[in-house]
Amino acid sequence: MSGQSLSLRMVTLHLNEYEISIGEMGQPLRTLVAEGNYSKIAVLVDANTRRHCLPYFLQNIDFEVVAIEIPAGERFKNLDICRFIWSEMMRHGLDRRSLLINLGGGVIGDMGGFCAATYLRGIDFVQVPTTLLSQVDASVGGKLAIDFNGVKNSIGVFQNPKAVLVDPTFLKTLPLTEIRSGFAEVFKHALIADAAQWQELQQITDLMVVDWAKFLAPSLSIKKRIVVESIDFGNWEF
């Protein structure tokens, strides 16, 4: 883990059908679960997020979950792993009143959302992105897909989550390569629409000591605006 000092004041971005909460995930998730009165709750993790993120996640909830673990990596975002997820959901007794929480990066969010949207014609799901890239990019938009026959994101659906919970605490678990990947997206958003933030980002000399929490809401706001404009113009390719 890095030694980042993270600001956790809650910020909420409102989209048409759900909200993105930026800050400690515990309270908004507990509230959502209480209001949803779910029959059963599962959390989807991979080998990395089970080790580094699930303990913190479990410390911040007061309800029971069953964990479904899949291998980590883009090469596992396929129908075989979806079949395993569906089988585990069925084995654990998830019904139409159940909830799936996707705890991980873009692969977990994509595949978990896809599996939830297609299981029993669709059950509720919540995205809890744990990488910088997924927190500022993949958590917005409702696009869900898996890879098929070697073609990335070739099978998918559009389905919004019940909520997206962006907790900067998870960023402390990331290696430099993952931080660098997310930084490129933050930098791109600032270059598109936030000159002041772009100037500030250019002053960064060590990615591992940055307080990323203060950059999340501005970057997500830009992403949100672009997605909304794309939907208004009928362009879902962004």
In a domain, 4, yes or no: no
- How much is the pLDDT for 14? 85
Tokens 């605006």, located at residue: 225
Query: Looking at the domain assignment, is residue 3 inside a domain?
Result: no
Q: What is the CATH number of the domain that holds 181?
A: 3.40.50.1970
Res 178: pLDDT? 94
> Is residue 238 in some structural domain?
no
Question: Which range of residues forms the domain containing residue 30?
Answer: 11-232
Q: Is 218 inside a domain boundary?
A: yes
With respect to residue 2, please indicate whether it lies within any of the assigned structural domains: no
Q: Please give the tally of structural domains in the chain.
A: 1
Is the predicted pLDDT of residue 3 greater than 50, yes or no? no
Q: What is the maximum alpha-carbon separation in the chain?
A: 52
What digits encode the pLDDT tens for the residues 155-214? 999 999 999 999 999 999 999 999 999 999 999 998 888 888 889 999 999 999 989 988
d(CA 5, CA 90): 41
Alpha-carbon distance 81 to 148, whole Å?
12
Asked whether residue 6 is domain-assigned, the answer is no
User: What is the C-alpha to C-alpha distance for residues 103 and 160, in angstroms, rounded to an integer?
Assistant: 16
What confidence tier does 138 reach under pLDDT thresholds 50, 70, 90?
Answer: low
Q: Is residue 138 one of the residues assigned to a domain?
A: yes
Which among 210, 5, 220 has a CA at the least distance from the CA of 134? 220
Amino acid 44: pLDDT: 98
Q: Mean pLDDT across the chain, nearest whole number?
A: 90
What's the CA gap between 213 and 2, in Å, rounded?
A: 14
Q: Are 114 and 56 in contact (CB under 8 A)?
A: no
CA-to-CA dists, residue 112 to 24, 57, 84, 172, 218, angstroms: 22, 17, 11, 23, 26
Q: Is the dihedral of CA 111, 109, 37, 64 positive or negative?
A: positive
In a domain, 96, yes or no: yes
Q: Please determine, for residue 141, whether its predicted confidence score (pLDDT) is greater than 60.
A: yes
Q: What share of the chain is helix, strand, coil (3-state, %, to 5)?
A: 50, 20, 30
The pLDDT, as a whole number, for residue 232 is: 53
Per-residue pLDDT band for 139 (boundaries 50, 70, 90) equals low
Backbone angles phi, psi at 43, to 5 degrees: -120, 125
